[in-house]
Chain A
């Protein structure tokens, strides 16, 4: 039996990762592993396991298959109870797999860069995420994401 209370924190490179780093203090002392797109980011999360997956866009069907395979391998090994992400598409795929195959609780924080409307992945995340957040008050609503605050 898996008794570990493992948390998966995942984000694409660039701005998504920078935003994830800004919420890292919320996970202090927890059993967290990180996933992103660039091997050098392991240096940002000393003391934690870190995995690299490839980037993928909506139109890249082969790439999506590769990312699913990479994520399945990680998920079978780590069995996270919670997945938290600041986007984007690879993280959405991770959320779907972790939730429906492993029963993980999922948290989506849409990027602060999406100031006018939710990201495409962020909209889809609403159907999956147990906690669905936007960083912009005006994008929140009763049928939409909640606004709990922002990383800036």
Chain B
């Protein structure tokens, strides 16, 4: 996992400013170690799912794993895209992902570090509308075409 020290640092400062004791962070290979949040380097996939399920709100990079997981458990999510120039990823594709996700039910996008706290406030204030929830699998027509191709190839 790439580090994302910028997000972890901003969230650690937010946690201190809010006086919260219930914030948990997965920090990957980052060098910044939180002083105010509980944290771990990496959760395995099952613990990650359980942590999402037990959370009130998710704050994450603009990665589809986190976004889909948040959707699955109907949790609001705030996204801060990783930026290539800061060494946070190999490309800037997360900016495009965030642009596409902006405004979808339960999803909030922070473009900059400074946008993060107000985005979190907004996410807390807005109850998650699950009416736009993604189905648990891809759309049936897409699945049918893939299935047929696989069967024809066997």
Contacts and interface: CB of A to CB of B under 8 A. Distances in A.
B44 A149 contact: no
Interface residues of B, number: 36
Nearest to B46: A40
Contact of B153 (A81, A148, A150, A152): A81
Interface size class of A (residues with CB under 8 A): 35 or more
A17 interface: yes
A36 B3 CA distance: 21
B64 interface: yes
Contacts of B100: 115
Nearest to A59: B90
Interface string A50-80: 0000000100000000000000000000000
Nearest to A147: B142
A18 interface: yes
Contacts of B66: 15
Interface of A: 5, 7, 13-19, 22-28, 30, 38-41, 43-44, 57, 81-82, 84, 105, 107, 109, 111-117, 119-120, 130-131, 148-152
